[in-house]
Every structure is written in C-alpha cells, then in structure tokens.
Structure 1
Amino acid sequence: MDTPLTPPADGPPQEPRTRRRDRHGRGMRGPLAPPQVPLSASRGELFGDLVRDSVERLERRWPQLADVEFLVGEVPAPPGGPDGGWNDEAVPLGGMHSPEGGRPGRIVVYRRPVEIRTKSRDERAMLVHEIVVEQVAELLGLTPETVDPRYGQDGPE
C-alpha cells in the first residue's frame, strides 16, 4: 500500500517519516573502551602522562623542582616570535623560562615535534625524559648528567 503525499483531509498533517540508519532505535550501546583503559585516553593526555612520569622521577632527587611549572605545548612559537621560536635548521622539542618577577620557572615540552620524531611509546618516553632532563639542567645551571646520572643511556628505567 502506498502512502499518500498529501495529508488526510480529516485530521492534522502528519510528519513525514525520516529514515534513520539505526533502524532498531538502540543507538550506540556504550563507549568502545572503559575510561581506565589507555585506548580511551587522547594522545595529548598520554603525552602529558609521559611528562608527569619523567618529572616525578626527577623530583625525588631534586625537591626544588616542586616550584617549577611543567607544561605541554602543541608546537613551538613561530620563528622570530616573543619566545624566540625556531629556525630553518631545527625545531625545538622543549623550552625553559627562568623564574622572574615572582613567577616560577617554566619548562615546556612540545608534543607534536616529539611525536613526529618517535615511532613507539617507549621511544617517546625516552625522548621526553631526555628533553625534561636537559631543560631542568639548564634551569638549575647543571649538566644533564648531574641532573640524571642515566642521561643519554639507552633503555627504560
């Protein structure tokens, strides 16, 4: 039986039925993974966890790092920007701002350049730790080997 295109004369006009892809009306049954599973964490959150892990390792040895802000940036400032930016030869993976005017020292790790240079999570974790160690060494006026004696050695903790 065909449905009429005009509304019936004996009642109010009927809403046209729209076809939905979900014919049974159930929709999605739930998230693809529970929130505790790393699959549900974004790349930015996972990268932030790598930075936090590295900072926690160093704070055990250097308690003065509790006064330093550690940040994750997407990309460094453009060349010639207020933070110095980068040039054609190298894109910075991290940056450091000394404490001044009552503002604490800040260390920034740039997520996208690090992700581009690494293939696996283990490589990324090692590179993030090296960047954090180098920036902390510059902030404290020490060598990276003094900040972390295992600096430059391959392999996880």
Structure 2
Amino acid sequence: MAWRRTRSAVRRPARHGRHGREGRSPVVRPPLPPLDTRVDRFDLAVTTAAEFLRSAWPELRDVRFEVADMPPAADAEGIPRWKVLADERRIILYRLPIERLSHLHRNDDLHRRMMVESCVFRAAAEYLDRDPWDLGPERFRYF
C-alpha cells in the first residue's frame, strides 16, 4: 500500500494574501505628484505668453508657437533663440539656447520665466514687425 499524504483544508484568515503573506500592497499605487520639470515650466511659460499675445493681437490668432530643443545650425549671428516663418504662420522657440545661453542677474524661477516670456514677445514682435514693448506694455508695469 502506497503512502499518500493528504492535505487538510486549512482556512486562512481574511487578512492574508493569496500566498499566505500578510500586508499585501494594493494593486494600484497612490497617485504621484505631477511632474515639474524644466521642460514643463518652459512649455507653460511659452503657452501663457502666446495666449496673452493671441488675445491682444488678432494677427497672431492663427500663428502656431512651437518649441524645439535646438536649432538645426548656427547662423552668422550665432545660435538663434527663435525662428520666425511668416509664410507658414509659425514661430519656433529653441528651448536649450534660451535656457542655457541667457545671462540672468538672478537665477530663480521668476527670472527664468521672464526670460522665456521676453523671447516669446521678441519673436512675436519680429513676426509683426513691431517693437516688443508695443505688444504688451501693461503686462510689465508691475516692475
């Protein structure tokens, strides 16, 4: 006669997991805080400045403001910060030259944002063939 080992039905308490371990974590992790990277902050600054300009200047309502990392090549004046393509109704802002080649007198979030906004204003002014200060003089009155 062969000896057989029989399993007895052992009831586990409800607090145990599938394999008898306690304290199993939930399947879904808790929500993580939103990412706040330099790229996100740059995109937000460009978007808010572009929306302000579109609301103030009807000529800019159909213009696309785009962000690229680097220009394809340097030109005779150096590394461009933006490129205006009036026939295509596009303004391309180059993130890395704006962030890394700008000389800020104070390196904090406010001054970095102001640098990005000033580049958006100068690119839009070049598109409209106007002075950048004419585009939104009331925007800078708090300084």
Q: TM-score of the superposition, structure 1-length normalised?
A: 0.60
Counterpart of 2:124 in structure 1 is 136
Q: Which of structures 1 and 2 has the larger relative contact order (alpha carbons within 8 angstroms, sep 6+)? A: 2
Shift of 1:151: 7.9
Counterpart of 1:61 in structure 2 is 56
Q: 1:46 aligns with which of 18, 22, 41?
A: 41
Shift of 1:129: 1.5
Please tell me whether Structure 1 or Structure 2 has the larger radius of gyration of its CA atoms: 2
Gaps of 5+ in 1: 1-23, 80-85
% of aligned pairs identical? 30
Distance 1:150 1:90 in 2: 32
Runs of 4+ residues deviating >6 angstroms: 151-154
Distance 1:95 1:152 in 2: 24
Aligned CA-pair RMSD: 2.9
User: How many residues get paired?
Assistant: 116
Q: 2:90 aligns with which of 88, 106, 126?
A: 106
1:106 aligned partner, one-letter code: R
Q: CA offsets, 1:22-76, max 9 Å, x none? A: xx986x955652x3xxxx1333222111100111121221022111010011011
Counterpart of 1:97 in structure 2 is 85
Alignment CA distance shift 1:112-1:43 (3 Å): same
Q: CA offsets, 1:84-108, max 9 Å, x none? A: xx34x63222121112xxx3x1111
Counterpart of 2:137 in structure 1 is 149
Q: TM-score of the superposition, structure 2-length normalised?
A: 0.65
Distance 1:54 1:110 in 2: 15
- Do the aligned partners of 1:75 and 1:110 also contact (CA within 8 Å) in 2? yes
Shift of 1:126: 0.9
1:139 aligned partner, one-letter code: Y
Q: 1:126 aligns with which of 91, 114, 125?
A: 114
